[in-house]
Amino acid sequence: MLSALRSVGGPGSFTKVVAMPTWRLRDFHDDDLDRAIQIWDQNQQADEAPAVFPVSEVVTAARAGGPAVVAVVGDELVGVAVAQACGERGWIMVVALAGTWRNRGIGSSLIAELERRLRSLGARRIGALLAPGATGTAALENSGYRPRAGLVFYEKVEHLGASDAGLLAELGGRMLPEGLWDSLAGMEREKEAIERRIVLPLAQSVLAEQYGVRPPKAVILFGPPGTGKTSFARAVASRLRWPFVELFPSRLASSHEGGLATSLREVFTELAELETVLLFIDEVEEIASVRSGTAVDPSHGVTNELLKLIPGFRDHDDRLLICATNSVRSLDPAFLRPGRFDYVIPVGPPDPEARSAIWRRYLGPAAAQVDLHRLVEASAMFTPADIEFAARKGAATAFEREVAQRKGIPIGTQDYLQAIAQTRPTLTDQALKDFAEDTEEYVRM
């Protein structure tokens, strides 16, 4: 590539020749991935419409040997272009340029190099799918490409492709079984709120767009321990048929010698390769607590890192971040500001009606032979998790009695009341008071 030379000064003045930095093209390497994605994200933020080829497909094509070229100035990567050959048809998947390096001919040179490589692979017709005015359109038109009018682009996405399955397994994620949403017993108030605000805009995104409703990208569920926040997150993934990945802050710190912040950044980089994902972070206060204001505080850097990662995660469609916390008041104020999280939704303790539904679920056939009203009253301070534990304990006690005595005594109300008495409730008066105050202060939905 040629350096640009510029003359400075008017007629008769001293002329100073300034050499502009030289850029050159080379092959894409795996080490370029982070910087390439950063440039791609910057271009996506500037463009009004999302890219046709998501970053996961682009990365897969580049790693599979598809034509992939980068432009560098010294050691700095300033542009990237990736293509894919399909018989005689070649597709330019992305042309992305760092903002300060646009309009210098780099885009056209990247395209010319892709064309050369595509021709060597047998491609004779080369196309690109871009939104009007998107990054790369000017370079394509300067390279002789012409838009085709009168075409409509149709697309249907299967949320877990073959290339995603291996990465999903590496992240400890999985596709959850269908029906988890319908199996949620009780908690109808919370279920209705989560369905209206989260599930429906994502499940019916086309209709939502027609009405100007923006599907959520990140939400917080808060409430006392055991109230079902994790169950709701899993049920949303099941309802949407999206891959489910759960991050455990306590495990992240030990998974990388560079520390929690580095481990967190690497996980989010890997997640960027998935087409669709519901990311769930439980007990998020462990990595987003109130910062002390001093850089020597270990939590300071971790919270800062997460605050930087969330906007990038939000830039992609078909992704949802759900964070759960037992103590929303302990989260850093910057974490709770609008723009990072669309909704902050309370998941409180079950009321009598909800407790009745939860008992019915876990009692099974025994529900017909016990005094359900007495169980509901006796478990007034129980969470759904407490009720499940007491129901299983009561059933186990009756089973063991029958095995030992063989008297044919059916399970009864007293078995479950005894189990309730032996179960320490999660809820306390102070926990309920704190939850009521937090609901008044933090709810956004």
CA 253 to CA 371: how far, in whole Å? 48
Could you read off the pLDDT tens digit of each residue along the chain, which spans 445 residues?
444 433 334 444 444 444 456 889 999 998 898 898 889 888 877 766 677 887 777 888 888 888 999 999 988 999 999 999 988 999 999 999 998 898 889 999 999 999 999 999 999 999 998 888 788 888 899 999 999 888 888 876 655 555 566 777 777 888 899 889 988 878 888 999 999 999 999 999 888 888 999 999 999 999 999 899 999 999 999 999 999 999 887 777 665 556 788 888 888 888 888 878 999 999 999 888 887 655 545 556 788 888 888 888 888 878 999 999 999 999 999 888 888 899 999 999 999 999 999 999 999 888 888 999 999 999 999 999 999 999 999 999 999 999 998 888 889 999 999 999 999 999 999 999 999 999 999 999 8
Distance of CA 364 to the CA centre of its chain: 36
Q: How many CA atoms lie within 13 A of 309 on its CB side?
A: 23
Give me the pLDDT at residue 14, please.
Answer: 41
Three-class DSSP category at 215: coil
Residue positions counted in the chain: 445
Give me the pLDDT at residue 343, please.
Answer: 95
Give me the pLDDT at residue 48, please.
Answer: 62
Angle formed by the axes of helices 413-421 and 384-405, to 10°? 120
- Render 389-409 in DSSP notation, one character per residue: HHHHHHHHHHHHHHHHH---P
Which of 270-292 are b and which e, b meaning 16 or more Cβ less than 10 Å from the residue's Cβ?
A: ebbbbbbbbbbbbbbbbbbbebe
Sorted by sequence, the CB contacts under 8 Å of residue 289 that are 6+ apart come out as: 299, 303, 330, 331, 332
Q: For residue 195, which amino acid is it?
A: E
Could you tell me if 177 and 251 are in contact, meaning their C-beta atoms sit under 8 angstroms apart?
A: no
Domains of the chain: 23-142 (3.40.630.30), 165-345 (3.40.50.300), 352-426 (1.10.8.60)
DSSP 3-state percent helix, strand, coil across the chain (nearest 5): 45, 15, 40
CA 388 to CA 383: how far, in whole Å? 9
Which residues on neighbouring strands pair with residue 90, listed in sequence order? 85, 126
Neighbours of 11 (CB within 10 A): 5
Give me the pLDDT at residue 17, please.
Answer: 43
Q: For residue 176, which amino acid is it?
A: L
Sorted by sequence, the CB contacts under 8 Å of residue 309 that are 6+ apart come out as: 264, 265, 268
Q: For residue 48, which amino acid is it?
A: E
Could you tell me if 223 and 216 are in contact, meaning their C-beta atoms sit under 8 angstroms apart?
A: no
Sorted by sequence, the CB contacts under 8 Å of residue 370 that are 6+ apart come out as: 363, 411, 412, 413, 416
What does each C-alpha distance from 270 to 119, 171, 176, 252, 273 come to in angstroms? 32, 8, 20, 14, 6
- Render 65-126 in DSSP notation, one character per residue: T--EEEEEETTEEEEEEEEEEETTEEEEEEEEE-GGG-SSSHHHHHHHHHHHHHHHTT--EE
Give me the pLDDT at residue 23, please.
Answer: 87
